[in-house]
């Protein structure tokens, strides 16, 4: 399933594409078609331990989605198509990215491994130095 949808003839891939491919590999593995060599190859693309852990999370998310949704579909192919949208894979559109079906964020990355907004601080430079509002006397 994975090889037909994504292909394995790539040299380098972006971080987002690696996450998408690891998710699809997780789905494929849970459906009984593991591809250990592709898993290892994608994992080697990560340059840090953090990157490797994000890829591992994406892989595990794919496996968990299959486990949660297995009873809703008649065949493995139907489940694959529900979790990984093959209509926008590189083999069909010539694009280098792969869109996945919900639940994903706007960029097609599974919610479990997408970036959280908690760490984004958008304040003026002095706001970080002031006391929090609940500690100020008025």
Domain enclosing residue 83, as ranges? 2-113
Q: Is residue 133, in this structure, part of any structural domain at all?
A: no
Q: What is the rounded distance in angstroms from the CA atom of residue 109 to the CA atom of residue 17?
A: 9
Q: Is residue 132, in this structure, part of any structural domain at all?
A: no
Omega before residue 70 within 30° of 0, cis: no
Tell me the percentage of the chain whose pLDDT exceeds 70. Answer: 67
| C-alpha distance across the termini of the chain, in Å | 64
71-98: average pLDDT: 63
| pTM exceeds cut of 0.75 | no
| Residue 89 predicted with pLDDT over 60 | no
| Per-residue confidence (pLDDT) for residue 87, from 0 to 100 | 42
pLDDT digits (tens, 9 = 90+) for 94-119: 333 333 344 455 555 666 666 666 55
Identify whether the C-beta of residue 38 lies closer than 8 Å to the C-beta of residue 47: no
Q: Is residue 99, in this structure, part of any structural domain at all?
A: yes
Q: What is the rounded distance in angstroms from the CA atom of residue 49 to the CA atom of residue 52?
A: 5
User: What is the total count of domains within the chain?
Assistant: 1
65-70: average pLDDT: 87
Q: Is residue 121, in this structure, part of any structural domain at all?
A: no
Q: What is the rounded distance in angstroms from the CA atom of residue 6 to the CA atom of residue 71?
A: 25
């Amino acid at each position: 399933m994975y090889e037909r949808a994504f292909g394995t003839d790539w040299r380098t891939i972006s971080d987002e594409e690696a996450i998408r491919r690891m998710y699809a590999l997780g789905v494929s593995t849970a459906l009984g078609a593991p591809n250990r060599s592709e898993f290892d190859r994608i994992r080697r693309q990560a340059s840090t331990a953090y990157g490797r852990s994000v890829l591992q999370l994406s892989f595990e998310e794919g496996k968990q989605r299959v486990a949660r949704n297995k009873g809703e579909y008649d065949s493995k192919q139907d489940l694959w198509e529900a979790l990984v949208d093959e209509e926008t894979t590189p083999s069909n559109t010539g694009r280098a990215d792969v869109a996945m079906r919900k639940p994903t964020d706007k960029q097609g990355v599974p919610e479990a491994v997408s970036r959280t907004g908690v760490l984004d601080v958008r304040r003026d430079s002095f706001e970080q130095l002031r006391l929090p509002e609940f500690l100020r006397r008025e």
